[in-house]
Structure 1
């Protein structure tokens, strides 16, 4: 493991709290690759393993590079930065044997196949833990590794639908999925947390474990108070649109050049808003001087909503953001061009440049900010099988003849 760590360090100057941890990343698309990327950003040596004849399909996902003559994907670069990549056909006997040899030297395996796939390959957790008892095996799937629905195929929308989020989002007339792959992204985050917890236990006891993360489970955990509201009161939460179920004013309001979120619903924030907009009398108006009164639907429609709409309609997003400052919650509803230009996000390195085979993409950074730093700045994403030589010859210890034989037969 030391030689591989040094090899990666020479390629990317790897440091970080997970330096020395080796991850075998068998995953594709978003949930698994994002989980492994988070570990790589913190210094883990992540080896992305792809079938040489059928690599991660996101290598063909848009947007493609504007400047490269080759079709290089910014989508792939974003979720696979800071990784090494090797080719390996797990369906061939020598591919299985090579993978098992890698597992003996690894700390973590991450996969996001449908449950049972790894077992069919003869590479399930029960097999792998026999050859490496300290191995952390993280499995991400639509519905989990057990349960009556575990074998069902799933995408992000499957989780949003079956986990309840779709029914809560949008409006009563038209429930909508959340406009990003939240089932994938949340599963990736929970998988990273579970993987690190299991790794800590393995380091302490020498025993790894299976980390089972379901997209559906992940979505259920993001439904805030909807589940306990139902179990306690029998009420099924309905979509609130841009509003909130129990506080007002809190939502979307139109301004001169778009919309803002206005959230001054507490008594303190409401008084600040009234002062900021020159309506001090509203702060002491006996009809709306408490949070409970302002939440009353009729009172809100008659007195609160018109005041907030008047304040916002007369100003631009930038004017509203500047005048409210840190007095109370108000945020422009930004389009992605405005997000990318946001100087606050720029200062926090939430837009970083990743190199992918000579193409350069600006992608999102890592929201985990460690005082010792993370590795997303100046990162690169690997080509198919780019690190075959370093991994198989230098780390795994294959001799040249073995390496050439596997390569010629398409195993690697």
Structure 2
């Protein structure tokens, strides 16, 4: 782990993806993240497929420690409040009102620790007509407008990864980091609130600006058409992608690389605006060209030309990719009891230093005894650190 957030203490009471993703982003930067789980089976994402250590759980809970607490039991709630007393950040992604029912609402925790940065993640915000509705990733993608500009309206299908969940978690981590910087100046904590709706609308800010500035009604095919981005199928059925953007030099290089001079002389494709207007016809013509050779041959051919291109890699392809290996993106998982032995490292480097490993996601209550012992030993014992200054007026 990196040390840029060393000595930052975080209590995360998150489940599934949004809260755990926010905690993971900060843990990857060196923060000491204590994951508070319900006593027993813990975060329900542990058993997303089977058992209590799913690959999905492992993905968002690395570099953390775990303690199991029953918030209905007075002694366990006292332990939770001891953690809050010593924490810099608290993260939860409950439905609005749920935190208050277990004594973890902002007002209660702020009274215990005025310096606390409290992050509340929700689906639709803390109040309003949708606030009480259940929300999952696909719902947030749909209601935010993001899905309408990401799919082909003629063949509507959800996008595979849980984008709204993860993106909201990343936005939450950014908000928390900003609040911590502010607290360094003021000494005071903050209530940071973010919803999946807000995160995904901000993430899709470009099509919103097209609507407000130009009166355009964006669709899922606009971006690739305007950007001149294409996915073509090669002779061996494998997919190949390239992005010509607005520079004619990329079109000229594409024509030269493919040897398809007939495309350049076709009046439908003579200038960029015509290629935009006739995007579907050009896509069909390009598929006919690329269907003449296997993808490996095209990859080898394009390496000699100045065209933004890539094969559409499967996950195993990416793991074996030479640039990925050069960057050291796949690293070992340390301190693992079960689960994957390798994973993707954090994306950052600082002064040229990258993470060489990540710590395995904890098992249920794996660190509970050690955390309780440290809390009982003396104030500030989780872990030892320099005491912070009092809030300034």
Matches within 5 A, 1:356-395: 356-371=336-351, 373=353, 375=355, 377-395=357-375
Matches within 5 A, 1:130-141: 130-141=111-122
1:346 Cα deviation after fit: 2.8
1:167 Cα deviation after fit: 2.7
- Corresponding residue for residue 105 of structure 1: 86
Distance 1:152 1:104, change over 3 A: same
SS of aligned partner of 1:173 = coil
- Corresponding residue for residue 162 of structure 2: 181
Asked if 1 retains the 8 angstrom alpha-carbon contact of 2:63 and 2:358, the reply is no
Q: 1 CA distance for matches of 2:331 and 2:376?
A: 33
- Corresponding residue for residue 16 of structure 1: 3
Distance 1:71 1:230, change over 3 A: closer
Distance 1:71 1:109, change over 3 A: closer
| Structure 1 range deviating more: 172-181 or 227-236 | 227-236
- Corresponding residue for residue 337 of structure 1: 316
Matches within 5 A, 1:9-408: 15-62=2-49, 72-240=53-221, 244-248=224-228, 250-257=229-236, 258-265=238-245, 266-279=247-260, 288-297=269-278, 300=279, 304-305=282-283, 308-325=286-303, 327-355=306-334, 356-371=336-351, 373=353, 375=355, 377-397=357-377
Asked if 2 retains the 8 angstrom alpha-carbon contact of 1:255 and 1:313, the reply is yes
Distance 1:142 1:378, change over 3 A: closer
Distance 1:101 1:310, change over 3 A: same
Asked if 2 retains the 8 angstrom alpha-carbon contact of 1:142 and 1:159, the reply is yes
Gap runs ≥5 in structure 2? 380-393
Q: 2 CA distance for matches of 1:24 and 1:204?
A: 22
SS of aligned partner of 2:231 = strand
Q: 1 CA distance for matches of 2:2 and 2:152?
A: 47
How big is each residue's C-alpha offset from its partner over 1:307-342, in whole Å with a ceiling of 9 and x where there is no partner?
Answer: 533442222222222322361111111222222222
Asked if 2 retains the 8 angstrom alpha-carbon contact of 1:352 and 1:377, the reply is yes
1:126 Cα deviation after fit: 1.5
Give the alignment's TM-score, normalised by structure 1: 0.83
| Structure 1 range deviating more: 354-363 or 33-42 | 354-363
Distance 1:373 1:87, change over 3 A: farther
Q: 1 CA distance for matches of 2:38 and 2:356?
A: 26
Q: 1 CA distance for matches of 2:55 and 2:280?
A: 46
SS of aligned partner of 1:210 = strand
Cα RMSD of the aligned pairs, angstroms, is 2.6
Distance 1:383 1:263, change over 3 A: same
Q: 1 CA distance for matches of 2:363 and 2:343?
A: 18
1:87 Cα deviation after fit: 1.2
Q: 2 CA distance for matches of 1:359 and 1:122?
A: 34
| Structure 1 range deviating more: 93-102 or 15-24 | 93-102
1:203 Cα deviation after fit: 1.8
| Structure 1 range deviating more: 221-230 or 181-190 | 221-230
SS of aligned partner of 2:377 = coil
Q: 1 CA distance for matches of 2:202 and 2:298?
A: 34
1:191 Cα deviation after fit: 0.6
Asked if 2 retains the 8 angstrom alpha-carbon contact of 1:31 and 1:185, the reply is yes
Q: 2 CA distance for matches of 1:345 and 1:100?
A: 43
- Corresponding residue for residue 10 of structure 1: none
How big is each residue's C-alpha offset from its partner over 1:19-70, in whole Å with a ceiling of 9 and x where there is no partner?
Answer: 11111011111111111111111111111111112401122234x7xxxxx8
Asked if 1 retains the 8 angstrom alpha-carbon contact of 2:345 and 2:355, the reply is no
